[in-house]
């Protein structure tokens, strides 16, 4: 039997995502009511520019006083899609304290202060859901914290930023340089006017922190995530990748140590074999590869950004939270019981592709190989091309720690025969 009194929803933010949330709530009102067991009513919309015309939204619902909206006391669920740290953090906290549950798409806030927000939600007996904070429309948060709750996740490897994937895919498929590919992404609306958060890996790092925390039942903050942008990736890097049967992706990688005693989270460009499922992810799409003990390998794929796809994830959370509200219960909160230490990048073990500019003369390769051996880094393959006294030496290693590789590179730079280190790139996904 359906309850006739509606559940009231406050919407914070009415931009690309917020306007789609409002539209779907209106156009799918009957279906949402049937799925929830009660109608949902948009009770207020907090915005910065109230004079802007917002199609399908009653102007009487629009306010610039977000604080007053979340403190009304009759609001059942607050949907936060304004982003950033403040005022979002204060508004979400106030919502909990005044009786509302929260659905958020705010990856930056959750990566930085997720533990504190979960604590307030639990104290107040309210829900905090955030499927839309990672990978847009792709169902990922709920499978990790619910569907795989009985399994042990060992690794999460993914493309979680559509802008960077579009740029790298364009560089790979057309031979375009980084700036040319970025300009096209900007023209098509995939990249912001200031693309720093995307291309320098900040966006992906926030998502990696959230994924690692859920996957490993451990608190992982944004500061724990190693981050390396992709602005230095060149056409030469793609040529080298093709020679190895690889392509290049900006990856978020969260994994347990082999002994299970710690975890790491990192974001950086990496070569990945063309045979790996992530290699075929094109354009602005996202995909996340999950490896666990019982279920093996799982892949989640789909549009990772955009108004409608992200709104789809928000509405999925809204339905779940409203159902909990009707049943006077809450869903899963923070699970950080494992409390594993988060190791630094120096402990990460992987393969490396190193391109060196060297003198083209006898004995150079032997010198380079000796340095690798002295630092305990095993060489898999070597390729050398030389002309007019100069040469390019490409070394691909077996698995080695980041600390060992760093020591190796420092020693190589001291060799008289090494003119410079052209590039260093990790090789993942094997």
Q: What are phi and psi of 192, to 5 degrees?
A: -75, 165
CA 195, CA 164: separation in Å to the nearest integer? 9
Locus of tokens 């410079």: 420
295 class by beta-carbon count within 10 Å (0-12 exposed, 13-18 middle, 19+ buried)? middle
CA 176, CA 178: separation in Å to the nearest integer? 7
> Which H or E run contains 78?
strand 77-80
> Which H or E run contains 246?
strand 246-256
Q: How would you list the strands of the sheet with 128-129, edge to edge?
A: 62-63, 40-46, 7-12, 77-80, 101-104, 128-129
Q: Are 278 and 289 in contact (CB under 8 A)?
A: yes
| Cβ-proximal residues to 415 (8 Å cutoff; 6+ apart), any chain | 367, 368, 371
Q: Give CA separation, 2 vs 6, 31, 32, 76, 331, in Å.
A: 10, 12, 12, 17, 21
CA 131, CA 232: separation in Å to the nearest integer? 31
Q: b/e string for 153-183 if b means 16 or more Cβ within 10 A?
A: bbbbbbbbbbbbbbbbbbbbeeebebeebbe
Is 207 an active-site residue? Answer: yes
CA 373, CA 354: separation in Å to the nearest integer? 15
**Lookup: tokens for 82:** 């304004």
**Lookup: tokens for 327:** 């049943």
Q: Which of 84, 344, 402 is nearest to 224 (CA)?
A: 344
Strand partners, 267: 227, 252
| Eight-class DSSP state of 332 | -
Active site residue: 207, 249, 361, 387, which one?
207
| Eight-class DSSP state of 14 | -
Q: Residues in the chain, how many?
A: 430
Catalytically active residues are 207
């Amino acid at each position: 039997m359906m309850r006739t009194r509606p559940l009231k929803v406050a919407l914070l933010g009415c931009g690309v995502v917020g306007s789609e949330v409002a539209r779907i709530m209106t156009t799918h009102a009957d279906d949402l009511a049937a799925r929830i067991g009660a109608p949902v009513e948009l009770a207020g919309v907090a915005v910065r520019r109230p004079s802007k015309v917002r199609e399908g939204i009653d102007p009487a619902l629009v306010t610039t006083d977000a604080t007053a909206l979340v403190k009304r006391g009759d609001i059942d669920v607050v949907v936060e899609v304004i982003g950033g740290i403040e005022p979002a953090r204060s508004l979400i906290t106030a919502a909990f304290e005044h009786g509302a549950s929260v659905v958020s798409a705010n990856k930056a806030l959750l990566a930085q202060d997720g533990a504190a927000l979960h604590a307030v939600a639990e104290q107040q007996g309210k829900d905090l859901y955030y499927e839309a904070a990672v990978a847009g429309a792709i169902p990922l948060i709920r499978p990790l914290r619910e569907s795989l709750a009985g399994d042990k996740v060992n690794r999460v490897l993914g493309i979680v930023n559509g802008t960077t994937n579009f740029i790298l895919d364009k560089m790979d498929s057309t031979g375009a340089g980084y700036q040319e590919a970025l300009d096209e992404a900007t023209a098509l609306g995939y990249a912001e006017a200031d693309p720093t958060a995307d291309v320098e890996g900040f966006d992906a790092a926030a998502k990696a922190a959230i994924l690692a925390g859920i996957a490993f039942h451990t608190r992982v903050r944004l500061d724990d995530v190693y981050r390396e942008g992709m602005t230095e990736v060149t056409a030469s890097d793609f040529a080298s990748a093709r020679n190895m049967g690889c392509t290049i992706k900006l990856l978020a990688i969260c994994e347990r140590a082999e002994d299970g005693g710690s975890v790491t989270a990192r974001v950086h460009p990496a070569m990945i074999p063309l045979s790996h499922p992530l290699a075929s992810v094109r354009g602005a799409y996202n995909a996340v590869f999950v490896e666990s003990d019982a279920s093996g390998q799982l892949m989640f794929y789909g549009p990772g950004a955009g108004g409608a796809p992200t709104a789809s994830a928000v509405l999925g959370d809204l339905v779940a939270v409203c159902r909990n509200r009707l049943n006077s219960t809450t869903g899963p909160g923070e699970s950080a019981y494992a409390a594993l230490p988060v190791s630094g990048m120096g402990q990460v073990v992987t393969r490396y592709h190193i391109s060196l500019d060297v003198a083209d003369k006898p004995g150079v390769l032997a010198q380079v190989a000796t340095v690798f051996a002295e630092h305990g880094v095993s060489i898999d393959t070597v390729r050398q091309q030389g002309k007019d006294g100069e040469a390019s030496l490409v070394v691909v290693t077996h698995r080695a720690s980041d600390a060992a590789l760093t020591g190796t590179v420092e020693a190589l730079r001291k060799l008289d025969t090494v003119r410079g280190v052209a590039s260093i790139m990790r090789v993942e996904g094997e």
